[in-house]
Amino acid sequence: MVDHRLSEEHEALRQSVEAFARKEVAPVIGEYYERAEFPYPLVRGMANMGLFGLPVAEEQGGMGGDYFALCLALEELARVDSSVAITLEAGVSLGVMPISRFGNEQQKRQWLPRLASGEVLGAFGLTEPGGGSDAGATRTTAVLDGDEWVVNGSKSFITNSGTDITALVTVTAVTGEKPDGGKEISTILVPAGTPGFTVAPKYSKVGWNASDTHELSFDNCRVPAENLLGERGRGYAQFLSILTEGRVAIAALGVGLAQGCVDECLRYAGEREAFGHRIGGYQAIQFKLADMELRTHTARLAYYDAASRMLRGESYRKQAAAAKLASSNAAMDNARDATQIFGGYGFMNETPVGRFYRDAKILEIGEGTSEVQRMLIARELGLPSA
């Protein structure tokens, strides 16, 4: 029997995050957004709820939940604001999970309790200025010199990399050459404040303005040899695994934004009058809202399916790519329709839909562009790669 009802534990979590988003995030996030300021009090609130440790085992300092619990939390946060949601998403899927999945026992003991508690944040340094979607074109290098790695290179668009509570960045780097002549890519843990590790000033962004994003540079940055994360030369495979998980989380975030558009438009359509009637009574508005609800519902089912396959230990690469593609499309289309329903008010930054419109576009780019998702789906269908 197919049953999409949430368990009691998942529903209780969903309700608690929904209440936090409505009562704590919604009243203040607009001001943080306009100031492009990182919302430390809200991050502390999420930390106090245990959200950064949701999919981490209790013995590692986490809540002992599952990845689907993280997705539910992200959806509820993004219904109100995506900056707060992406801070949690990146903090967990890109900060915590690489160490949880691939770290040795010493690395887990050193980093996971603080990361899972939300006391500190971790970041994942993958994208490079000239690389974009071609992660295999990594140019950052890490050369083993005695008992230290010497890291040189740069990373761009790295979330949670420059906050006052950022503790480390996991960096992909070329550490040698494979027997076939290809690049040997490994992942290295670089603690914040390491000499030679520089965080550039924050970007001026179109959206996600209350989240933290920087370019990073490494100039003869030395870290201990034991900061190698996982097996040498397996960095490419590791980050592909992390990105597949992350696509499910980003899909949940996109569904949250799409649902937020529906929520706001339903409220507005019941209040706004035009030509003597509330606009919710006009079929043109009703049809838009019906389409918005359909997109949201379909995208939610897609990420539920991907998450359930992940938790059962089944292959879910195709489903994760499909969920990410469906949710980013739904978010972008719903944000556009919501702005149209709100009219001039939808173009104002003080309205949630104004923020939704600005935040939606990055979902078609970050953690794998929509074009990359289509490539992945095609490969999973057995079609040849170019």
Tens digits of per-residue pLDDT, 326-379?
999 999 999 999 999 999 999 998 899 999 999 999 999 988 899 999 999 999
d(C-alpha 193, C-alpha 38), whole Å: 19
pLDDT band at 299 (very low <50, low <70, confident <90, very high): very high
Give catalytic status of residue 367 as yes or no. Answer: yes
For residue 131, the model assigns a pLDDT of 64
For residue 350, the model assigns a pLDDT of 83
* Mean pLDDT of the chain, nearest integer: 95
pLDDT in tens, 168-196: 999 999 999 988 888 999 999 999 999 99
Structure tokens belonging to residue 138? 């990594």
Q: Which one-letter DSSP state was computed for residue 101? A: H
Written as one string, the DSSP assignment of 28-84 is THHHHHHHT---HHHHHHHHHTTGGGTTS-GGGTS----HHHHHHHHHHHHTT-HHH
Q: What is the pTM (predicted TM-score) of this model?
A: 0.95
Reduce the DSSP state of residue 229 to 3 states and report it: strand
d(C-alpha 339, C-alpha 260), whole Å: 12
For residue 136, the model assigns a pLDDT of 67
* Close Cβ partners of 258 (under 8 Å, ≥ 6 residues apart): 292, 295, 296, 299, 327, 330, 331, 334, 335
User: For the chain, what percent of residues have pLDDT higher than 90?
Assistant: 88
For residue 106, the model assigns a pLDDT of 96
CA 243 to the chain's CA centroid = 10
Q: Where are the beta strands (DSSP E) in 164-270?
A: 166-177, 183-191, 197-199, 213-224, 228-229
Half-sphere exposure (Cβ direction) of 178: Cα atoms closer than 13 Å: 12
For residue 2, the model assigns a pLDDT of 63
d(C-alpha 142, C-alpha 227), whole Å: 11
Evaluate whether 341 touches 268 at the Cβ level (below 8 Å): yes
The amino acid sitting at 370 is S
- Looking at residues 62-74, what average pLDDT do you find? 95
For residue 103, the model assigns a pLDDT of 96
Q: 159: left (phi > 0), else alpha (psi -120 to 50), else beta?
A: beta
Reduce the DSSP state of residue 358 to 3 states and report it: helix
For residue 61, the model assigns a pLDDT of 87
pLDDT in tens, 202-219: 999 999 999 999 999 999
pLDDT in tens, 245-259: 999 999 999 999 999
For residue 313, the model assigns a pLDDT of 95
- Looking at residues 137-147, what average pLDDT do you find? 94
CA 124 to the chain's CA centroid = 11
275, with CB counted inside 10 A (0-12, 13-18, 19+), is exposed
- Looking at residues 300-318, what average pLDDT do you find? 96
- Looking at residues 70-90, what average pLDDT do you find? 98
Query: Has residue 163 got a pLDDT over 60?
Result: yes
For residue 376, the model assigns a pLDDT of 94
Reduce the DSSP state of residue 356 to 3 states and report it: helix
Half-sphere exposure (Cβ direction) of 165: Cα atoms closer than 13 Å: 17
Q: How far apart are the first and last CA of the chain?
A: 40
Q: Where are the beta strands (DSSP E) in 178-250?
A: 183-191, 197-199, 213-224, 228-229
Give the residue from 323, 287, 276, 350 showing the smallest Cα distance to 71: 323
Return phi, psi of residue 307, to 5°: -65, -40
Evaluate whether 328 touches 82 at the Cβ level (below 8 Å): no
Evaluate whether 226 touches 205 at the Cβ level (below 8 Å): no
**Hey, which residues does 267 pair with through a beta bridge?**
none
- Looking at residues 231-237, what average pLDDT do you find? 92
For residue 135, the model assigns a pLDDT of 61
The structural domains of the chain, ordered by start, are: 8-121 (1.10.540.10), 123-233 (2.40.110.10), 237-380 (1.20.140.10)
For residue 3, the model assigns a pLDDT of 73
Residue 101, Cβ neighbours under 10 Å: how many? Answer: 13
d(C-alpha 276, C-alpha 294), whole Å: 29
Higher pLDDT, 246 or 133: 246
- Looking at residues 114-137, what average pLDDT do you find? 85
Evaluate whether 161 touches 197 at the Cβ level (below 8 Å): no
Give the residue from 30, 22, 28, 27 showing the smallest Cα distance to 349: 30
For residue 134, the model assigns a pLDDT of 66
Element (H, E) at 161: none
Element (H, E) at 277: strand 277-278
- Looking at residues 4-32, what average pLDDT do you find? 96
Q: How far is CA 83 from CA 38, 164, 234, 385, in A?
A: 9, 17, 31, 35
Which is the catalytic residue, given 89, 350, 367, 371?
A: 367
